[in-house]
Copies of this chain bind each other. A is one copy, B any other.
Amino acid sequence: MKNKAITSRDVDFAKWYTDVVKAAHLADYSNVKGCTVFEPNGYALWEKMQTILNQMFKETGHQNVYMPLLIPENLMRKEGELIQGFAPEVAWVTQGGEKTLEERLCIRPTSETLFSDYYSNVVKSYRDLPLKYNQWCNVMRWEKETRPFLRSREFLWQEGHTVHETKEEAEEETRKMLSIYKAFFEDYLAIPVITGKKTEKEKFKGAEYTLTVEALMYNGISLQSATSHYFGQKFSKAYDISFKDRNNELSYCYQTSWGATTRMIGALIMVHSDDNGLVLPPKIAPCQVVIVPIQTSSSVMEQAKEMKKILEEVQISVQIDTSEKSAGFKFAEAEVNGIPLRIEIGERDLKEDKVVVTRRDTREKKEVSLNEDIAGIIKQMLDAMQNEMFKRAQARQEALTFTCHSLEEVKAQMEKQPGFIHAMWCGEEACEAKMKEIKGTKSRCILEDGKRIGDCCVVCGKEAKHHVIWGIQY
């Protein structure tokens, strides 16, 4: 029984994606070009991601703040590379009330400039350092295409910005945040990721280097999923974030920034979902269990409420679907919305002191006796589902990871089945450009502990410097 509103992902992956987004009520296109509406199911996922990441950030000593939405043009221009990178894609406010502004203001595409400006006011001494701030907000980049969660003019994200006394401490922060993102993707989103360093061409403009978390979607396309940047003293010199150091001399701070966006919702969909709709790893599902009473008799309803209570006591989130729809309709809705477990409670089963539990990912059914430790069994099923979803995603990633030694091999592979491609690279941008001709293949990252898998650049055949993972990107 296939959901008719959803195109098969093996037939048309792009169409399948938007069908799932709409059928699961995650997002809708709006009459504002380039912007989407986050519907309740989509926003609930974002809230859950926020809650978990917020805790990870706070446990590592970060604090939340909020900076202005608008950036005056001159402030934006203080650091040259950043504005070059973003100028073609920012929105400008030129009128306030009924007046034309003397200086235009851009809607933040990212907030390095504002944080740097703030830090330059408050950092005076090494005793004020480090400052490790983060903000959750909306940002805007004037994109041409719109794909819900993947590419839109406005999106939601968190951006961490930290200032440190020493290079070592700032670099450690850059790596620590990369590892937090990796842990979040693998432990909560059940998405295996690779991590490494962006090439000069692909790094964040203004950064000394960018570390990245890259994931592979079901169809073999790569998704840049979170990034962590080390700035050295670039911004601190441009924005004068100086302080009296331990020798009572004037020094400039070392800075980092790191961010993850609502694009993570897109990754969740493209890694785990299927032709019947959304599939959510239990740890990120806003609702983990839906109880469907087959009848509305008092014995059934009481059992439903009792079960909800028992499960909530062990921190499982539960809803009882008490709407006036048919059971079949409720099953289909729970399925398309990706609720990990569905518990059916019906009169016939109750007579035998049992209920039926169905897993969303495998659609496997299990009869559970009411005399057993229901909460324990449900918890185990959720844990098993979380683990198996990760393992399946990992197996798929491995199956779609290839090694190539020549441009022809890369071309043949990408035409047959895209994926992650391991190949050596000489370090020249010209070779990256050549790779891009193959269906837009780009370097995803330089593996930092990558062993040499050849001596020659996959493109030019000259001496290879780096072991790189390549992929076609969203």
List A residues at the B interface (Cβ < 8 Å): 28, 30-33, 35-40, 43-44, 46-47, 63-72, 75, 87-98, 104-105, 107, 114, 117-118, 121-122, 133, 137-138, 140, 142, 153-154, 156
Contact = CB atoms under 8 A, between A and B. Distances in A.
B93 A91 contact: yes
A68 B137 contact: no
A133 B97 CA distance: 29
Contacts of A133: 40
Given A91-B96, A94-B92, A95-B104, A69 B37 contact: no
A65 B92 contact: no
A64 B37 contact: no
B117 A30 contact: yes
A40 B67 contact: no
Q: Which 6 A-B pairs have the closest CB atoms?
A: A35-B68, A38-B66, A40-B63, A92-B95, A97-B142, A32-B68
A44 B137 CA distance: 15
Given A69-B140, A118-B30, A154-B69, A64 B35 contact: no
A170 to B, nearest CB: 20
A376 to B, nearest CB: 24
Contacts of A97: 88-91, 142
Nearest to A71: B32
Q: In the complex, which of the residues A67, A93, A138 has the most CB atoms of chain B within 10 Å of its own CB atom?
A: A93
Contacts of A154: 68-70
A67 B42 CA distance: 12
Q: In the complex, which of the residues A37, A39, A63 has the most CB atoms of chain B within 10 Å of its own CB atom?
A: A37
A31 B70 CA distance: 10
A44 B58 CA distance: 12
Contacts of A94: 92-95
Given A35-B70, A44-B64, A71-B32, A91 B95 contact: yes
Given A30-B118, A142-B97, A43 B69 contact: no
Given A40-B65, A94-B95, 11 more contacts: A30-B118, A32-B75, A33-B72, A38-B65, A39-B65, A68-B154, A69-B138, A88-B98, A91-B95, A93-B107, A96-B142
Nearest to A90: B97
Nearest to A62: B40
A32 B118 contact: no
A156 B71 contact: no
Q: In the complex, which of the residues A40, A98, A133 has the most CB atoms of chain B within 10 Å of its own CB atom?
A: A40
Contacts of A65: 37-40, 43
Contacts of A68: 30, 32, 35-37, 154
A31 B69 contact: no
A43 B134 CA distance: 11
Contacts of A107: 69, 93, 107
Contacts of A121: 28
Nearest to A118: B37
10 contacts: A31-B75, A31-B117, A35-B68, A40-B133, A46-B66, A70-B91, A91-B96, A91-B97, A93-B94, A138-B138
A399 to B, nearest CB: 36
B122 A28 contact: yes
A114 B47 contact: no
